[in-house]
Amino acid sequence: MPIKLPKLTHREQKIAGGLLATVIVAGCAYLLARESGDRWCETDALQFLSFSHLLQHRPAPAQEAMLRSAAMAEQEGNAFQLACHQLGLGMTAAAGARLVDSVAAARRGADGAQRIGDPVIELWGRAQQATAELARGRFAELDGIAAEIARTGKPLPPIVEAVVAGLRRIARADQRPADASTRCWRSGSCCARRSSPTKACG
């Protein structure tokens, strides 16, 4: 007996077509970059291919593409891309419910970004760490993540200060839940209003 598939709405068809298109376009970009010998573009295209699989909740092929991209970046010795790849591996691990691996990869990426002085990539990684720890119910770990951000001893940009304060309040959510939710909202509002982590939050 043939299987009867549900009829998709026009909007659902567009979404499904768009997701498929992302895989096709990223795959074509990878092939073109490979043929032209552009290693930077090739590693980027593999990252995009990985993310396109993540959009469809396909962690296994997403991780495979990200690992291939990371291996290429390591050959080139590109510190920026290596940090980004660790964050990508953290995302693929989280999608596969491997939260411990996700935290470890996100930390490696954030630490790498901190070493090269890229606050945007670092915040991306610390946010991944925090999200995975919260998914594990480990609120107190956010205090350690805040300390990792501030450990350089250098003055922090306003948005980074807001994130550090937010993490420290959320770490104590079991003691003062209302205070934690207010600080989280303020930190998020600050980040949403500023396109650059070096601009003030006022």
Residue 157: helix, strand or coil by DSSP? Answer: coil
Question: Range with the lowest mean pLDDT among 43-47, 140-144, 189-193?
Answer: 189-193
> Residue 58, class by beta-carbon neighbours within 10 Å (0-12 exposed, 13-18 middle, 19+ buried)?
middle
Let me know: does 59 contact 95? Beta carbons within 8 Å.
yes
- Helix (H) or strand (E) segment spanning residue 11: helix 10-36
- What integer is the mean pLDDT of 172-183? 61
Task: Quick: pLDDT tens for 36-69.
Answer: 887 878 888 888 888 888 888 888 989 998 999 8
d(CA 140, CA 123): 18
SS3 labels along 27-81: HHHHHHHHHHCCHHHHHHHHHHHHHHHHHCCCHHHHHHHHHHHHHHHHHHCCHHH
Task: Quick: pLDDT tens for 79-137.
Answer: 888 898 899 999 999 999 999 999 999 999 999 999 999 988 999 999 999 999 989 98
Distances (CA, A) of 100 to 15, 94, 103, 134, 149: 32, 9, 5, 11, 20
List phi, psi (to 5°) of 152. -70, -20
Dihedral over Cα of 55, 59, 60, 66: its sign:
positive
Residue 197: helix, strand or coil by DSSP? Answer: coil
Instruction: Please identify, in words, the CATH class of the domain defined by 23-138.
Output: mainly alpha
* Structure-block tokens of residue 46: 């593999």
Cβ neighbours of residue 111 closer than 8 Å, sequence gap 6 or more: 125, 148
The pLDDT score that the predictor gives to residue 86 is 92
* Structure-block tokens of residue 153: 């001893």
